[in-house]
């Protein structure tokens, strides 16, 4: 960074760097663009950001990001409350929603169990999930945590919880991507695909 | 400073966490170099050459270079294909990883630790029934490798061999001592675990096959590990503890 740069600009450049994928160079480009050419856009960002940070909280039922007490999906009477899909992040909700084939409800963990990082069951809202299981009405829980070691450990933990309440747990399938070619697949995925094969 | 280059070293990933924008910071347990920390650059990019490779419990061959501090991961390949740990075994594996992360220092080569890790994973892969015994033997061998080996085969006061039918008081700072009057009336004290001679023998010989021996061995290793772990509890125990109510219904107790 240049020595004679003003402290306010430097502060702005540093602030942009909290975004993922934004390093010093891109942060500088963004800052100069807003100041030189698009002050109106800058103002819109400030207002939208301030309002969102002020008002967006968590849905009381599924823990996803929401500005209402209960989010739009949870309060939609058209959805099947007997099916509950467990996801790691709010972005996963969008991804599953875009498939349009799922019509149940969600529960968002905002992470996964990771003892080495100090993340325990309460940190990902499993006490809330246990209460929801206990309240009844859920028949099947579809566990769609990521296929990592931590995601699997989380899935196992939730499956045990579900069985305690006589709820059927299921895990999303892993394997060959649709339209993919076996030759170019990594061996971990391929072995999972063969272990998880199904009858035709 | 001289650059250290290591080529195709057998290793396991103990822990991984995101680093910078698209890299991973890995804690590896290696055969000849002990625990090392390396950065896998670009490992979180969708088309990374490490895709699906740098996962816990997967036997790997890794190359890295290191110029003091953090190493940089080079080539990584599968050493052999292990069966995946699932369910309870997976939680046990995470427990072992946490134990090693807490107790094994970086860059302190120890072949025995690498070997005990390989063998505990092999036992965990074989399934649920054996898990608890596998963990106890792993803890026993880990304590041994770290220089805190437990005296299990003789009474530390009179030097006599452990008699299976007797009751012993195991003192944290010295070892087993025959309990006076066969000890049944002794009240529990801090730093002392009371257990049967047969359980000591079972742990020493690595054949923990009845519930009582398993339970007593667990109390003993937990006390001994507790001294090394200090006040900070192991988080992976919460993977088991929370469910105890449910597990008890099925008449078995959870892992560590």
Domain end point (choices B78, B107, B136): B78
Which residues of B, range 33-92, sit inside 8 Å of A by Cβ?
51-53, 55-58, 78, 81, 84, 86-88, 90-91
Q: Is residue B149 part of a domain?
A: no
Assigned CATH class of A7-55: mainly alpha
Terminal CA-to-CA distance of chain A, rounded, Å? 62
- What ipTM is given for this predicted complex? 0.82
Maximum Cα interatomic distance, chain A, rounded to a whole number of Å: 70
Other C-beta atoms lying within 10 Å of the C-beta of residue B220: 24
Task: Give the pLDDT confidence of B42-56 residue by residue, as tens digits.
Answer: 999 888 899 888 999
Where are the domains positioned within chain A? 7-55, 79-172
> Could you tell me the CA-to-CA distances from B178 to B149, B195, B212, B241 in Å, in that order?
19, 10, 19, 32
Chain B hits for A152, CB-CB cut-off 8 Å, are 86, 90
Q: Do A20 and B239 touch (CB under 8 A)?
A: no
Which residues of B, range 108-137, sit inside 8 Å of A by Cβ?
none
* Residue that is written with structure tokens 């149940």 in the block: A104
Terminal CA-to-CA distance of chain B, rounded, Å? 43
* pTM exceeding the 0.90 threshold for the entire prediction: no
Domain that holds residue B195: 167-229
> Could you tell me the CA-to-CA distances from B204 to B158, B161, B198 in Å, in that order?
19, 12, 10
* Stretches in chain A below the pLDDT threshold 50: none
Report phi then psi at B24, rounded to 5: -125, 145
Which of A121, A156, A189 lies at the smallest CB-CB distance from B90?
A156
Kindly report the average pLDDT of chain A as a whole number: 92
Task: Give the pLDDT confidence of B5-40 residue by residue, as tens digits.
Answer: 999 999 999 999 999 888 999 999 999 999 999 999
Q: Is residue B179 part of a domain?
A: yes
- Assess contact for B196 and B168: CB atoms under 8 A: yes
Total domains present in chain B: 2
Strands of the sheet containing A168-171, edge to edge, are: A104-108, A80-87, A140-143, A168-171
* H helical segments located in chain B: 87-103, 111-125, 131-145, 197-205, 211-229, 238-241, 244-249
Q: Is residue B111 part of a domain?
A: no
CA-based nearest residue to A149, from B93, B123, B197: B93
Residue of A24, A116, A129 for testing the chain B interface, max B β-carbons within 10 Å = A116
* Neighbour-count burial for B151-160, b at 16+ CB within 10 Å, e otherwise: ebeebeeeee
Residue of A nearest to B237 (CA): A115
Domain end point (choices B78, B108, B133): B78
Assigned CATH class of A79-172: alpha beta
Residues in chain A whose beta carbon is closer than 8 A to a beta carbon of chain B? 20-21, 23, 113, 115-121, 126, 148-149, 152-153, 156-157, 160-161, 163-164, 186-189, 191-192, 195
What average pLDDT score do residues B107-130 get? 90
């Amino acid at each position: 960074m240049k020595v004679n740069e003003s402290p306010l600009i430097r502060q702005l450049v540093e602030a942009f760097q909290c975004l993922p994928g934004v390093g010093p160079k891109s942060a500088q480009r963004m800052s100069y663009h807003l100041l030189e050419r698009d002050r109106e856009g800058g103002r819109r960002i400030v207002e939208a950001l301030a309002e969102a940070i002020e008002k967006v909280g968590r849905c009381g039922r599924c823990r996803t990001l929401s500005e209402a007490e209960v989010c739009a999906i949870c309060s939609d009477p058209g959805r099947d409350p007997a099916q509950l899909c467990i996801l790691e992040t709010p972005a996963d909700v969008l991804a599953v929603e875009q498939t349009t084939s799922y019509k149940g409800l969600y529960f968002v963990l905002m992470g996964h169990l990771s003892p080495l990082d100090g993340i325990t069951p309460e940190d990902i809202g499993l006490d809330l999930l246990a209460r929801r299981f206990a309240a009844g009405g859920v028949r099947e829980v579809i566990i769609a945590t990521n296929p990592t070691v931590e995601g699997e450990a989380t899935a196992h933990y939730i499956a045990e919880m579900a069985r305690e309440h006589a709820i059927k747990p299921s895990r999303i399938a892993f394997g060959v991507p649709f339209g993919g070619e076996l030759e170019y697949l990594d061996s971990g995925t391929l072995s999972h695909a063969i272990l998880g094969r199904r009858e035709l | 400073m001289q650059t250290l280059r290591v080529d195709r070293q057998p290793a396991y990933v103990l822990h991984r966490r995101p680093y910078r924008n698209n890299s991973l910071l890995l804690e590896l347990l290696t055969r000849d170099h002990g625990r090392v920390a390396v950065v896998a650059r670009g490992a979180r990019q969708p088309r990374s050459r490490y895709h699906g490779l740098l996962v816990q419990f997967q036997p790997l061959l890794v190359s890295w270079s290191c110029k003091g501090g953090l190493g940089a991961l080079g080539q990584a390949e599968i050493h052999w294909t292990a069966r995946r740990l699932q369910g309870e075994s997976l939680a046990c594996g995470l427990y072992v990883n946490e134990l090693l992360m807490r107790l094994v220092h970086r860059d302190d080569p120890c072949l025995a630790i690498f070997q005990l890790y390989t063998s505990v994973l092999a036992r965990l892969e074989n399934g649920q029934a054996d898990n608890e015994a596998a963990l106890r033997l792993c803890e026993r061998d880990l304590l041994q490798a770290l220089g805190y080996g437990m005296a299990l085969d003789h009474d530390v006061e009179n030097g006599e061999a452990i008699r299976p039918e007797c009751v012993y008081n195991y003192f944290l700072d010295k070892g087993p001592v025959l309990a006076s009057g066969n000890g049944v009336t002794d009240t529990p004290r801090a730093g002392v675990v009371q257990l049967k001679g047969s359980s000591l023998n079972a742990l020493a010989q690595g054949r923990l096959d009845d519930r009582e021996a398993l339970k007593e061995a667990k109390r003993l290793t937990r006390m001994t590990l507790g001294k090394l772990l200090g006040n900070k509890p192991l988080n992976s125990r919460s993977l088991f503890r929370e469910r105890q109510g449910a597990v008890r219904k099925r008449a078995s107790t959870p892992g560590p």
